[in-house]
Structure 1
Amino acid sequence: MIERTARAFCWAMLALVILFLLLPILVVIPVSFTDTAVFRFPPTGFSFRWYERVWGIDALLSALWLSVSVAALSTVISLVLGTLCAVALVRGQVPWGHAVATFMVSPLMLPGLVLGIALLQAAREIGLRDAWSSLLLAHVVITMPFVMRTVLASLSLFDFTLVDAARTLGCSYPLALWRVLVPAILPGFISGALFAFFASFDNYPISMFLVDVRTKTLPIQLLNQLEVSPDPTLAAVSVLLIGLTVLLLLLCDRLVGLRRMAAL
């Protein structure tokens, strides 16, 4: 009896936590289809006008393109650098490897405002005045730890003698890495790419110090839109981003499997 009660209590708490996490999403979706010019829940009507308006706001589209391009490029750079760092740490080729691994995740431990001010000052000191380049450099700093940690977790139980065994069976060194190492790190690789992309795409506290009048990322542009013209267009953009996230998760599930990614 006590065991059943405890199990029911745990399931009830789990349901409440999931509802608490999903409640903002469940609210913003119907708000985006309202026919009024103000945020209202529950909506009084149904309309696609706010989704149509999204494609007519040039500032939002340019901010979206900037966020996607910076996030994609910073993710690619982080995948290369983070994977190489993880391999070097696992192979024991870096002195004080544990200290180096801890240091590399330090950007995630620092407050975003502190890191943003530090990166702004560093960009000025090296003479980097271009907002796009400054954003890219800053986003690589905050995305590479995600890749390094997830790939490091995938490599923690990998036996590198399997690569040597593949070479003795006739594979070249690059082909041995492709057939043996890549499948082992693929879940961590894709998980790190997802984390890195969304960390860059959604970043606000660091980007706010590095943008200018003509170069604004989507989160900053949305906040400006909320201050100047608060209407359900923002909810429509949010729903589109939610849909993009779900599509990426489904794609990763088809390529790798969410169970393997969650096991990292």
Structure 2
Amino acid sequence: MNSEKLWHFGSNLILLLVAIFMLAPLVVVVMVSFSSSPVFNLPAPEWSLRWYSALLHKDGLGAVLWLSVKVALVSTLAALVLGTLCAIAIAHGRFRGRDALLAFLVSPLMMPGLVIGVALLQVLREVGLRDVLGALIIGHIVITLPYITRTVHASLALFDMRLIEAARTLGLSPARAVLQVMVPSLAPAFLTSGLFAFLASMDNYPISIFLTDARNKTLPIEILRYLEESPDPTIAALSAGLILFAIIVLFLAERMVGMRRLAQF
């Protein structure tokens, strides 16, 4: 075996080990969710769906899940509009400091979530916003906007703006030219960034914990409460449902766009 083949073998082996290391906890969670034992242990004494049945009768879980989905949907849609406009302005604008502005918009990804949460709490209190839903939407727009802006900005480098001008010369209005020419071309970027933004919103804890109250909680906060008060495999069943949801989202994205095109962004 020459050095090149040895290098490829070693690289593939390391990749396989890293994948196993990252996926093993998910496999354990799914296996625990089908255990009949009232505690987290493997191997399971026998397989059962009792924890999924208990999940359906969990008090308050429906309201918590609906709040998380509603916040994630609204914040993702708002971030798609704002992030796309910001990306277009940065990519094709004629002003100084565009790179600094892009770094500023992406900075929430590089800052600790607790810092952003405390800052948002103080700002929203100063402006007098006491509504939990509004505060959560604003906070989640802050954390989802970087995904949209960075991905769309990268895809705009591959888009020729002269196509919009050509569409306008053929009789389309500016709005219709953007909708019929730019949006289809950037659809993979919108879908990819939207998926990541939605999942990031659903999974966010460090910012949401500062913006919720005792009556309105998001799903990650409720899961932590379950762990503190009644730790049983119901939490594993809930986590398995979230894993399944992420798989379904990726499957739909692959069917609609293609995984190869998704990976480009």
What TM-score range do you get, normalising by the shorter chain? Answer: over 0.9
RMSD: 1.2
Alignment of 1:210-249 (within 5 A): 210-249=211-250
Equivalent-residue separation in structure 2 for 1:56 and 1:262 (angstroms): 39
**Does the aligned pair in 2 maintain the 1:147–1:192 contact within 8 Å?**
yes
2:154 equivalent to 1:153: yes
Equivalent-residue separation in structure 1 for 2:7 and 2:92 (angstroms): 45
Equivalent-residue separation in structure 1 for 2:137 and 2:176 (angstroms): 32
Letter in 1 for 2:198: F
Give the TM-score, by structure 1 length: 0.97
1:130 CA drift (Å):
1.6
1:261 paired residue number: 262
Alignment of 1:142-181 (within 5 A): 142-181=143-182
**Does the aligned pair in 2 maintain the 1:28–1:238 contact within 8 Å?**
yes
Q: Deviations over 1:167-221 (max 9, x none)?
A: 2233333332223211221111111101111111100011111111100100000
Equivalent-residue separation in structure 2 for 1:212 and 1:165 (angstroms): 52
1:46 paired residue number: 47
Equivalent-residue separation in structure 2 for 1:62 and 1:94 (angstroms): 46
Equivalent-residue separation in structure 2 for 1:94 and 1:253 (angstroms): 38
Equivalent-residue separation in structure 2 for 1:95 and 1:237 (angstroms): 48
Alignment of 1:52-131 (within 5 A): 52-131=53-132
Equivalent-residue separation in structure 1 for 2:123 and 2:168 (angstroms): 45
Letter in 2 for 1:180: V
Equivalent-residue separation in structure 2 for 1:99 and 1:220 (angstroms): 34
Equivalent-residue separation in structure 1 for 2:85 and 2:162 (angstroms): 18
Change (3 A) 1:94 1:42: farther
Equivalent-residue separation in structure 1 for 2:205 and 2:62 (angstroms): 17
Q: Deviations over 1:120-149 (max 9, x none)?
A: 111110111122211111111111111011
Equivalent-residue separation in structure 2 for 1:82 and 1:53 (angstroms): 40
Aligned residues: 264
Alignment of 1:24-43 (within 5 A): 24-43=25-44
- Give me the identity figure in percent: 50
Give the TM-score, by structure 2 length: 0.96
Letter in 2 for 1:147: I
Moved more, 177-186 or 25-34: 177-186
Moved more, 124-133 or 218-227: 124-133
**Does the aligned pair in 2 maintain the 1:115–1:206 contact within 8 Å?**
yes
1:94 CA drift (Å):
4.5
